[in-house]
Chain A
Amino acid sequence: MDFNYLSTILFLPAVGAFIVAFLCGGRSRLIKWLSAVFTFIPLALAIYLFVSFDRSASAAGLVQFEESYLWIAPLNAHYHLGVDGLSLPLVLLTTLLGFLAVLISWKINLRPREYFGWLLLLEMSILGVFMSLDLLLFFIMWEIEVIPMYFLISIWGAGRKEYSATKYVIYTLFGSAFMLAGVLSLYFTTGSLSILDISQGGLGMVQSIMPAGAIFLLLMIGFAVKLPVFPLHTWLPDAHTDAPTAVSVMLAGALIKMGGYGMIRLCVFMFPDVAERYALILVILAIIGVLYGAAVTMRQTDFKRMIAYSSVSHMGYVLLGIFALGSVSMVGASMQMFSHGIVTGLLFAMVGLVMHNARERDLRNLGGLARQMPVIVVVFTIAGLASLGLPSTSGFVAEFLVFVGSFASGIVPWIEGYTLLGVVGVALTAGYILWMLQRVFYGPPQEKFNGVADADNLERVYMIIFVVVIMLVGVYPAILTDVFKLGVAPIAGLFGG
């Protein structure tokens, strides 16, 4: 029997969570080292899978490293895991961020066994969403994430943490309530819980009993809350801002990608006709999200909230790329998910570092930190430039593909015009990123920040990892696009792309 790579990757963090929470007592150093080990092994395995993934053109749309066992016989639910070109990079992203999140959390000393336990469980549930090929398993993994998130924000967060945590939970549960109704309808109209079976041949069955549009909308609400799509985004700034640094990294980096992934995998793939019908509305919402998000970002005075709002804007590109329904634009949207995960992850890590070292988060009071933080300022600048899409960073590749792909896709009416509006968002992004850099790091050095420390060695390590990935993807994007193309090909094929 083959080695079950995916199950190993999926459950190692959960095993780690159990050991950390119940078997380590209060020994903080041991807990951190164990957490690092239990997130590093999945990362190494994910890299191995990424390398050994079959990239030949004949593998387009094929699921690799598949595992399937009958799980609940009366419901015909299977424990079915597998990755294709779409999900594998996201699995890689999640394991990478999971490992880095542990490093970023190294200074956490408040109730460490609970903290690392929840953090590892969070990683497991996100991985589960990207790997599941069974609707019930997918939904369970989707739901499990709420519990760790609630505790992580409300105990280790800052500011109005309990309010933000509750808001997050209610929003998410609200979305997943509709999703559950959608999953159930899908189950009974197709008679199957297998994502592969439904997307490959279930469509005829869908339309016969229940209007496909209704199911599409039910599922879409769940994903739209998570991505988030304007106007369902208001949980995001609160949750991101009040969460502890590493959790913001996981949240912005990996978790909200579940929304985009779900849209492509379930909504677009299973309901191409309906997706085409609603594409115009969703593209308009995407553009509103891009412009509104960028405009609101400009107005923020809180350092972390500013990064948080920029996510609303950047996720607009993902939505635009997906519902332009072109092959290139969908690859671009997937690239944007990966790139945003790394870039925003790094930005949140840097913001956390600045806030931690300088003990100040109000942009109006910050300034002149370049002198005290020479390393941080360089890394922050790189991350900022990647975020605004400078060539040679991953952000450029992703946004370029989204714009080119959307402009040329020609499925949604007037898509060229909407794409051009979206490009305006890039200019706004450049504006707020540069302004933020200027306000925080440049200007006259301030007396009160004299003793402020720069990054220490451990922090330099994870910064370097982030920067290397950003540059690698920026300089040699084919390493990812080749894989994404394989995953997107059958989906785009439905629209003749």
Chain B
Amino acid sequence: MNLALFIPEITLAAFAVIVILLDLFIEQKRLLAVVSIVGLAVAAVFSVAMWGNDFPSIFNKMLAVDNFAIFFKLLFLATAFLVILASVNYVSEKVTRFQGEYYALVLMSTLGMMLMSATADLISIYVALELTSISLYALVGFLKDKKSTEASLKYLLLGAVASAILLYGMALIFGVTGRTQLGEIAGAIQAMSPNGIMDSPALLMGIVLLIAGFGFKIAAIPFQMWVPDVYEGAPTPVTAYLSVASKAAGFAIIMRVFFSAFGMPGWLSMNWGIIFAVLAVIGMTLGNIAAIPQTNIKRLLGYSSIAQAGYLMVGMAAIGFSPAADIMGRSGVIFFLASYALTNMGAFTAVIVISNKLKSDLIKDYSGMGKRAPLVALALTLCLISLIGMPPAAGFMAKFYIFSAAVKQHLLWLVIIAVINSVISAYYYLRVVKVMWLGEAASDEKVPSSIALRVGLVLSSIGVLLLGVIPGYVMKVAEVAARMFAF
């Protein structure tokens, strides 16, 4: 047991408490954002320091401190940083009371996600998941207006159902294997004879229920019903956070659970691989088709995130089909998540800038944005191009990488469906671009943006371009992260 390896998490928890306490004493609430960012930075520094050393696990193998976990911790910290940048103005305008709680909850949910990326035990998985979810339920309802409250309640109820399903699945798996630790579960499964595995419906049922429970987190169809309403009702920075970090955390935990516990024998992993392939097809197709008629940009991005989860599941299918030594599928999913995080954060930051001025999230109100806020419109255009998956943006490289992994495992049919879906998605993403650059401006008034928002926008746009043009370095990092060890 080595508490030093737990320092990033401890730091973040401490800063969350500090933010709440400070809130009682200071008038200038913007300071809270600064303190939160400092907390994120300190936690990031500690995490970076651990990179590259493959430490063993801590807390009796409940938490892993491998490169995979560290990569995701840094991803969540960076996302939380961008979310806080995007929140500063939004919160001070729309959330008059409980600003301290807002930032503290962001930090707490980040903490939960960091734990999610590291947990290697069914029990700690559940605890981490709930820590994240409960913070997010509160954040979604933070505006306290009708839509926000409805969104929060919906999210809570459906989330509770998903948790119950997950718990049931965990109970079944524990019942069959007698273990909660992922590596030990893997050992127990490999010790069973092939017929033994097929003869225990409880185990297979457990695996399916785990997919369902986690599927809620990543908005995989058919567990996506909450997405459009919650995305529309939640405060926009929280929507961004949900669409990026919460999804990434879901994929992190899915990758670890399925790779570590159910990665062997090969035919078993192929079975869940095919489930993910089917979910990918349905998710991409329905997400993209449902996005076409949307008139609200937040709902549009909500459906788009369902479709993006579909592309990510193409990667999961590739992981299922590939032998354990082949890391391309895993590093593809990791790289995709990083590029998707930057892209979606950029898009939502632009949405926040525009909605701060217009008080509207309707796409038709974006008319003439190319004149009123050229740089914001340019950044949003870049992010939408990245979401389509066109070069020179990060989204293209991410898709290329993840589809490469799938083609390598002879999933060409799945890739063809995915690329056709990208074409469908171009239609509705470009509709937003069209309105911004071709539409007449409703007024000539410029759209102002604060420094914090501008920094967030510039950072994510540069990130999107860099990952699109010279992705080699981040791909290498993703490869290192993908070499997680099963235990």
Contacts and interface: CB of A to CB of B under 8 A. Distances in A.
B420 A177 contact: yes
A173 B423 contact: yes
B430 A169 contact: yes
Contacts of B390: 143-144, 146-147, 173
Contact of B403 (A71, A74, A180): A180
A454 B426 CA distance: 43
If over half of B's interface residues share one DSSP class (helix, strand or loop), that class is named, otherwise mixed; here it is: helix
Contact of B419 (A169, A170, A177): A177
A110 interface: no
Contact of B423 (A73, A136, A170, A185): A170
B477 to A, nearest CB: 10
A154 interface: yes
Contacts of A184: 400, 403-404, 407, 412, 415
Interface in A122-160: 136, 139-140, 143-144, 146-147, 150-151, 154-155
B438 A150 contact: no
Interface string B389-416: 0111000110011011001100010011
A71 B468 CA distance: 12
Given A146-B390, A147-B385, A185-B407, A72 B416 contact: no
Contact of A181 (B412, B427, B471): B412
A144 B475 CA distance: 22
B49 to A, nearest CB: 25
Contact of B430 (A74, A166, A187, A210): A166
A74 B472 contact: yes
Nearest to B413: A181
Given A136-B400, A181-B419, A144 B426 contact: no
Contacts of B408: 188
B471 A72 contact: yes
Interface in B414-434: 415-416, 419-420, 422-423, 426-427, 430, 433-434
Interface in A208-236: 210
A18 interface: no
A146 B476 CA distance: 30
A162 B434 contact: yes
B174 interface: no
Name the residue in A136, A140, A144, A170 with the highest tally of chain B Cβ atoms < 10 Å from its Cβ: A140
Contact of A143 (B396, B415, B476): B396
Name the residue in B419, B438, B472 with the highest tally of chain A Cβ atoms < 10 Å from its Cβ: B419
Contacts of A169: 426, 430
B487 interface: no
A75 B437 CA distance: 36
Interface string B96-129: 0000000000000000000000000000000000
Contacts of B404: 75, 184, 187-188
Name the residue in A73, A162, A174, A177 with the highest tally of chain B Cβ atoms < 10 Å from its Cβ: A177
Given A140-B396, A181-B419, A184-B403, 7 more contacts: A166-B427, A174-B423, A180-B419, A181-B407, A184-B400, A184-B412, A188-B404
5 contacts: A143-B391, A144-B392, A150-B430, A166-B434, A169-B426
